[in-house]
Amino acid sequence: MNRLMNRDRDAARSKMFTRRLALLAAGKMALFGVLVGRMYYLQVVEADKYRTMADDNRINLRLLAPPRGRIVDRYGKVIAENQLNYRVVVVAEQTGSVPATLDALSEIVPISDTERRRILREVSRKRRFLPVTVKDNLAWDDVSRIAVNSPDLPGVSIDVGSTRLYPFGDTTSHLIGYVAPPAESDLTGDPLLELPDFRIGRGGIERVYDLAMRGRAGNTQIEVNALGRPIRELARNEGEPGHDIVLTLDTALQELAAKRLAQEASAAAVVMDVSNGDVLAMVSHPSYDPHEFARGISGPAWRALLANSKAPLTNKAISGQYAPGSTYKMIVALAAMESGISPDFRVSCPGHMELGDNKFHCWKRGGHGPLDMVEALSQSCDVYFYEMGRRLGPERMADMARRFGLGSTLSIDLPGERPGLIPTRSWKLARTGKGWATGESLVASIGQGYVLATPLQLVTMTARLVNGGFAVTPHLTRDLVQERRIAERPQSSFPPIGVPQANLAVMLRGMRAVINDPRGTAFRQRIVDQNWTFGGKTGTSQVRRITEEERRVGLRKPEQVPWRERDHALFVGYAPLESPRYAVSVIVEHGGGGSSVAAPIAREILTEAMRLERERERTRPQGPARIAERSG
């Protein structure tokens, strides 16, 4: 009975067990089914998405910075190039402790406290596997010492980068500019700009042709692990190196000019080919060392440059606006001829001219006596030009001035070009609300008062005077650089400025006499021992107030006052006399007289230009050759 009951119970238990086992089996299989469903979803339905994510995970696209284009002069001499730069970097995650590693490293290369703080700051900001630069521009000795000690310096390695090298240093810095890391505002989304090593051009040619010199970034696909450590390279695309920029500059002439101007406190000079507008030399003194910027200039050095009253950061050749003084007299003379005044018309100079209650003095106290136009130019008689100015009024002078490139920018391929100023009645009314006084025409006729011009404008004016009357414009590159492309510059075909050759011939006679006539203002600078000579025009102007406006207003030290009160010395000239090829303009700020200070500089520069020309004709009879390895 009991046993029977037990057996029934066992049977019932077995039955229930079987039933529940079926349930359990179904449950287990169902859950495995869920897993399979999930796998199907992840591996079949969503496979592409996850495949992309896996590739994004492992493939690190690294940009390869293209080498920046070089800058060379017209003969292929290198003005800016890239130099290998050895740096020591530290990777935080590979070091036991960054401070300890820096301690060990500082026994090989000195690390200042400031550098140390910067390094530690960068280490804490960056991800731990990214290298942080400890020291730049290592000498080869240091490189090898670090390499030898590397077993004791975990996480320390030598990285090779590239820095910009300017073999001519401060001689070309105003033209070339410099490179510096991009600022926040420079970022355009081009990832190239975000490379730690990338530099963009600041100032000068480096800035104007920055895009062309940058080139196109290559890239390399690197497989990285979860920590970001590179495992292997999957693919590589080298990109395009930047274009080289060929300048019209002649570095030999540039060096001579820079050396000569360095004898003055503050000066600028420009040399131009009168027929095609090639700028052969452009110097602004004092200058600065572009390498300081490429490396990252220190705060005190930067403040010192800014505070310098002689404006070393400014390219005075294009940004300095000066009253042209007597160098403006050719414009007035041409305007006079155009309005019907004969060059033979004589004005008698008693040493001054009276206008109303005012007395306008000639620079020559006793006066010049009666003078025609050529004599008035060569002796720079102010009274003659007062008379012309009185007769002409501002508009006719301004019209002529503009045809010679004054009063507006010339679109040279440099940043920071200033327009100068050529006053007219309407300009004055708009500017001051007052009418034009006749006395102001007199002042303007000798290039004083409101009249302002840059050395670049003055050299362009001179070129247009002596090249047969073509509106040549200045440029620094031999090619036409458009954005990233470089094209051949079209053969120069400058429009005529619309001045009769006869009138220009009068000017040439006048400028010839300035140097070569015994009564000329710069007769002492004439060249007698060569088979060529030069012409030009001196200028002495006092526009201290306006040049001061350009400067940052600073405390004037008493000993500077006399220098600042001195006249600007100017000279514009050309050579050779018979078939002019070179035009030059020189300004020496507060240098004194144009004939005694500026003319000798112009003479030396022109002499060097002629000497170089002859020398090159001997060695390179076919003339300047384009360098062969140009890219683009």
Partner 1 sequence: MPAHSALGQSNKRLSLGEKLRQITWGLALTILAVSSIGFVMLYSAAGGDWDPWASRQISRFAMGFALMIAVATVDIRFWMKAAYPFYALSVVLLVAVDLMGEVGMGAQRWLDLGFVQIQPAELAKISIVLVIARYFHGINHDQIGNPLYLVWPILLTLVPAFLIFKQPKLGTTLVVLATTAIVFFMAGVRMWKFILVAASAAGAVPIAWSLLRDYQRQRVLTFLNPESDPLGAGYHIIQSKIALGSGGIWGKGLGGGTQSHLQFLPEKQTDFIFTMLSEEFGFVGGLVLIGLYTVIVLYGLAIALRARSQFGRLVAIGVLSGIYLNALINMAMVMGLVPVVGEPLPLVSYGGTSMLTLLFGFGILIGVYVHRDVVVPRRGDT
Binding site for partner 1 (CB under 8 A): 6-7, 9, 12-13, 16-18, 20-21, 24-25, 28-29, 31-32, 34-36, 38-40, 42-44, 46-47, 49-51, 53-55, 57-58, 223-227, 231
CB of 127 to partner 1, least distance (A): 11
Whether 309 is a known active-site residue: answer no
**Rounded Cα–Cα distance for residues 346 and 391 (Å):** 14
**Rounded Cα–Cα distance for residues 565 and 543 (Å):** 9
CB of 132 to partner 1, least distance (A): 21
Three-point CA angle 453, 205, 472, nearest 5°:
45
The H or E element containing residue 334 is: helix 329-338
Three-point CA angle 211, 216, 217, nearest 5°:
125
DSSP one-letter code for 533: -
Q: What is each CA distance from 208 to 62, 241, 483, 555, in whole angstroms?
A: 28, 18, 9, 34
CB of 2 to partner 1, least distance (A): 11
Structure tokens belonging to residue 447:
């290039």
Q: Catalytic residue among 173, 266, 287, 326, which?
A: 326
CB of 46 to partner 1, least distance (A): 5
User: Shortest CA distance to 135 belongs to which of 145, 127, 125?
Assistant: 145
Please identify, using beta-carbon distances, which residue of 234 and 313 lies nearer to partner 1: 234
Please identify, using beta-carbon distances, which residue of 57 and 358 lies nearer to partner 1: 57
Peptide bond into 167 cis (omega under 30): no
Please identify, using beta-carbon distances, which residue of 195 and 224 lies nearer to partner 1: 224
Peptide bond into 576 cis (omega under 30): yes
CB of 194 to partner 1, least distance (A): 21
Please identify, using beta-carbon distances, which residue of 57 and 97 lies nearer to partner 1: 57
User: Shortest CA distance to 251 belongs to which of 177, 320, 167?
Assistant: 167
DSSP one-letter code for 517: S
CB of 14 to partner 1, least distance (A): 9
**Rounded Cα–Cα distance for residues 93 and 100 (Å):** 13
CB of 28 to partner 1, least distance (A): 6
Task: Provide the 10 A C-beta neighbour count for residue 187.
Answer: 12
Please identify, using beta-carbon distances, which residue of 94 and 149 lies nearer to partner 1: 94
**Rounded Cα–Cα distance for residues 381 and 303 (Å):** 45
3-state secondary structure 124-186: HHCCCCCEEEEECCCCHHHHHHHHHCHHHCCCEEEEEEEEEECCCHHHCHHHHCEEECCCHHH
Three-point CA angle 489, 79, 282, nearest 5°:
70
Please identify, using beta-carbon distances, which residue of 14 and 298 lies nearer to partner 1: 14
Please identify, using beta-carbon distances, which residue of 29 and 487 lies nearer to partner 1: 29
Catalytically active residues are 326
